[in-house]
Structure 1
Amino acid sequence: MMADIILSLILLGSLIGLAWPFLLYPLILRALPTKGEHPVAGPTPTASLLFCAYNEGAAMPEKLDNLAMLKGRYPGLEIWAFDDGSSDDTAAQIMARGDLVSLVRGPGRSGKAHGMKQLAARARGDVLIFTDANVLLDGEAVERLLARYADPAVGGVLGSLHYLGDGESATAAVGSLYWRIEEMLKDEESRTGNVLGADGSIFSIRRDLYPDFPDTVLDDLTVSMAVVFAGRRLVKAKDVIARERLVAARGDEYRRKVRIAARAWHTHGHLRPQLRRMGALDRFKYASRKMVRWFGALFLLSGGLAAMALAWRIAPWLALALLAAGGGAVLAGVLMRRGPLAAIVDIVIAYVATLQGVARAMRGNTFAVWNPAKSR
């Protein structure tokens, strides 16, 4: 009897751990009061747009056209790019548009964090806008982003990322669903105070808040969290739209998640002293949206083992039947590119990749450089 209770508690705890960041945490956020913004009349701040690139030759024509469109709509926009030792024609394409983009070339592979620091040191805009080489911004993005800085309490503003190509594979579909949930969580976090961290697709901060940090950390998280640590608000603008193509291949997505998780855990260690000084609500948000997810594979494993043990105690044949059904579903999902079984496999793969990345970071390994996904 006691064993049944323990196993049931393990199963329940595992289910709560899996559901917390995607179901329970959003419900709690929705119950919290809204924290409004208080704009003050004044001049629109100047802006510098920064991005790093490595072997993005295929994406550069569309990226440069997009930047030209933004510059035409916002003539005062300063644009900087860092080439991280590309072996294709990325740097040549950017140099050919020297009237539009100022290029800094790295000595070789030094990583995005290093590159962004080089650009931030050269930028002169009141607001630094960070984006990725393969991301396209809507025409109104710069104007709408800067408008949120009319509130002097706002130190950083995120945009909204819309993914393209979600019907190309189960991997892309799962990635799209995950990101829609992520965008919804950021909206609710912003409404109730601070968003707890940005991704690199589109975010901005006041230039005087840009921090110092080592090249090995996740610069998007480190830079955006500097706003919160400074006592300013990090908010999200839903009407600032960035667009990016999804990764369609499982191998590409697995490697990407391992790299991001390893850098995120390493960054967590770097930021830990400042994280401990945050307010209670921000610490709760950070743990709920980030830390719980890092260990999702452990919740999945412990819950699965507890369920199997409970089934075995009821009847051994039931446990064997569940094991056979689960194994068959996983095999079918691995062989398929689309459909619910393929999506379930991709969710499990995402959990495993994230935990592997965290484990690598715990052993002292991290990633300073990156490679564009071939299936994007």
Structure 2
Amino acid sequence: MFEILFWASALIMAYSFAGYPVLIGMLSSIRPRPVKKGSFTPPVTVIVIAKDEEKNIGAKIENLLGMDYPPRKMKIIVASDASVDRTEDIVRSFSERGVALFRADESKGKPAILNMLIPEIDDEFVVLSDARQKWNKESLRMMMSNFTDPDVGAVSGELVIENEDEGTFTEGVAFYWRYEKYLRKCEAAYDSTCGTTGAIYAIRRELFGKIPEDTLLDDFVIPMNVVKRGKRVVFEESAVAFDHPADSSRHEMWRKIRTLSGNYQAYVRFPWLFLPWKNRVVFQFVSHKALRLAVPFLMLALFFANACLLDRDIYAVFFGMQVVFYLLALLSVRLKTRLLSPIKAFVFLNVIAFIALPVYLSGRQKVTWK
């Protein structure tokens, strides 16, 4: 029994992190679905959700106003989730430049604000962003170029982590994002990617459906609803949002716990995601998303099963390899070297995925900002 558990755990993990990337890369090359791009600059509304962002919101608005896009075709709405600092005053100072302020009287969270705002927008296309990240100048134009293809319902940009410090946890997270970029490119080339980057994504307004107000991961739920309605979610690597690392590894950890708690929430709340006759990208979803959350539990199963098989030399070798791997992960916290960053990222993110389950089950993770 332990031998079966060992090999089943090892093979599923190997498929999730190595087999699937190879397979989706091959499929995207053998059966590609190129997006029919064209020059396209329709009227668009950009929504920035902000909560006490006085340090970032001015620079964010200036960044958006500097987009390579016809100014008369771009509206900017900053939605303040009952900010108590100077965020709203700063937004009002841009009113003569066409920037509008939407204010929630009480903190409701991002999903509730989107549910209120998006149905009232007249423009056919809506672009969503956060206050912290800045975009490259071509982002808006490049995202819109994908919508000349009528099959495209949403477009995700790319998130780039800037100024990562060597040897920090955030360096490993940047490595993770490069890995994610490859998967999203291949998935979009084959059909659709599973989710978007919350810092920069666009959607056809008519495809937006109201989401539960306690949704933790709107940038997964909204695009998957687009897929459910028969449209594609594609990846535009020329549209880039630049982010900076979290102030500390603890801050980064809670960011990821929130994201992964949102995954657990979505999987429980929307069982249709696992049904092939309702989710045409179920192969990508299970391989990329669902199995990823199972990995920390498979790691424990692998270690436990291996420990029960030490009477056989080959399994003793495997156990030694596991011990060395985890020791290197611990060592990487102290050693400032890029060589160990992939190991650090792998263990760090899977520890967080493990923690995220009890956090989700406890109901401690709230949709509103702290």
Q: TM-score, normalised by structure 2?
A: 0.88
Q: Secondary structure at the match of 1:50?
A: strand
Contact 1:308 1:319 in 2 (8 A): no
Contact 1:330 1:345 in 2 (8 A): yes
Other-structure match for 1:10: 5
Kindly state the Cα deviation for residue 199 of structure 1 after the two structures are TM-superposed.
Answer: 2.5
Which letter maps to 2:232? R
C-alpha spacing 1:259/1:339, structure 2 compared with 1 (3 Å): same
Counting aligned pairs with the same residue, the percent is 22
Q: TM-score, normalised by structure 1?
A: 0.86
Contact 2:16 2:291 in 1 (8 A): yes
The correspondence of residues 127-206 of structure 1 with structure 2, limited to 5 A, is: 127-206=125-204
Other-structure match for 1:60: 57
Other-structure match for 2:357: 358
C-alpha spacing 1:97/1:168, structure 2 compared with 1 (3 Å): farther
RMSD between aligned residues:
2.9
Cα distance in 1 for residues equivalent to 2:84 and 2:134: 23
Contact 2:79 2:113 in 1 (8 A): yes
Cα distance in 1 for residues equivalent to 2:311 and 2:350: 26
Q: Secondary structure at the match of 2:73?
A: coil
Other-structure match for 2:298: 299
Cα distance in 1 for residues equivalent to 2:69 and 2:315: 70
Cα distance in 2 for residues equivalent to 1:355 and 1:368: 20
Cα distance in 1 for residues equivalent to 2:236 and 2:315: 54
Other-structure match for 1:374: none
Q: Secondary structure at the match of 1:129?
A: strand
Other-structure match for 2:15: 20
Kindly state the Cα deviation for residue 249 of structure 1 after the two structures are TM-superposed.
Answer: 2.2
Kindly state the Cα deviation for residue 157 of structure 1 after the two structures are TM-superposed.
Answer: 1.2
Which residues of structure 1 form unaligned runs of 5+? Answer: 1-5, 372-376
Contact 2:68 2:140 in 1 (8 A): no
Cα distance in 2 for residues equivalent to 1:186 and 1:319: 32
Cα distance in 2 for residues equivalent to 1:337 and 1:96: 44
What is the aligned length?
365
Contact 1:129 1:202 in 2 (8 A): yes
Kindly state the Cα deviation for residue 335 of structure 1 after the two structures are TM-superposed.
Answer: 3.8
Contact 1:49 1:130 in 2 (8 A): yes
C-alpha spacing 1:232/1:132, structure 2 compared with 1 (3 Å): same
Contact 2:157 2:196 in 1 (8 A): no
The correspondence of residues 71-90 of structure 1 with structure 2, limited to 5 A, is: 73-90=70-87
Kindly state the Cα deviation for residue 88 of structure 1 after the two structures are TM-superposed.
Answer: 2.6
Kindly state the Cα deviation for residue 108 of structure 1 after the two structures are TM-superposed.
Answer: 3.1
Contact 1:262 1:365 in 2 (8 A): no
Other-structure match for 1:104: 102
Q: Secondary structure at the match of 2:309?
A: helix
C-alpha spacing 1:68/1:345, structure 2 compared with 1 (3 Å): same
Contact 2:81 2:108 in 1 (8 A): yes
